[in-house]
Structure 1
Amino acid sequence: MASAPICLLWLLFVAVYDFRERRVPNWLVLVGAALALVALALGDSPFKSDWQSSLLGAAVGFGCLLLVYATGLMGAGDVKFAGALGLWVGLSALLPIWIISSLLAAVHALLWIFFQRWPLFPKFSGLLFSQPLPSGEARSAGRKRFIPYAAYLAFATVAWMVWSRQSS
């Protein structure tokens, strides 16, 4: 399983980058997709997915999140990352990964609301939200994407990888 540590390292880079910058650069998505294709070609997918499942996972991951992006609720980097992630995990693992990452993102959103109303721990909220929370009229000035969804997809993928190994 030489590809599992590579996948984990890629997921770590995505999570750190998305938490720090609130975006996922194209080069990072392309590297992950290329590595997934190499793992598939070598028959060493860490999720035991075949070509058909991986290509379907990429198409469904990209396509479903593209619809969310069209509503303005998600960044383009999250969508592209979901497509590359689908190459790694295949179609069957996408739904549980989406459920886990959506729950993590919901907790993030609830914490954002809580700290916006009651800024008890400004250093913690600065870490969680990558910038100080806006106050007063600046809150409604514009819609910002404050949830690093690609990072939560990466965390959920790691959790799924660990859980699926222990249950086999």
Structure 2
Amino acid sequence: MSKSTPATAALDEAGVAYTVVPYEYDSSADQVGNHAAQAIGEPPERVFKTLMVEVDGRGACVVVPVARSISMKKVAAAFGGKSAQMMKPPNAERATGFKVGGISPFGQKKQVPTAIAQEAQAEPYMVINGGKRGLLVRLSPEDAMQASGAFPADLLS
């Protein structure tokens, strides 16, 4: 599997240290993120999923632990909006340039405002999608925020 994606290229360009973590992607898994955590032997609080949302009709990206759910009210508030909803998968793919299951906050086709769950700051590192199904990257929360232009936020329900 090629380990070069627009996400890893963006990380390289940002000059942040990361480790590529490949795994067997299983699209039939009940919860793909939890499956990924289990496949790589990481606790689910250190493995993060990338979700594309719309806040007051504008695209945004949230990065949250795979075993947790977001609060749309908190997501809207984090981006200074009144309401939030999940972006439809075809729209998320078109906006990011990545396939669902491989969306990364790094190297998106059109960079949108990005928030990372504040819980990430308590972890020594986090594991996030590297821009392809079955490809994750491990990096520090600080580097993840720098490379994605993200801010920490209260996003979880």
Which is higher, the Rg of structure 1 or of structure 2? 1
| TM-score, structure 1 as length reference | 0.23
| TM-score, structure 2 as length reference | 0.24
Q: Identify the structure with the greater helix proportion.
A: 1
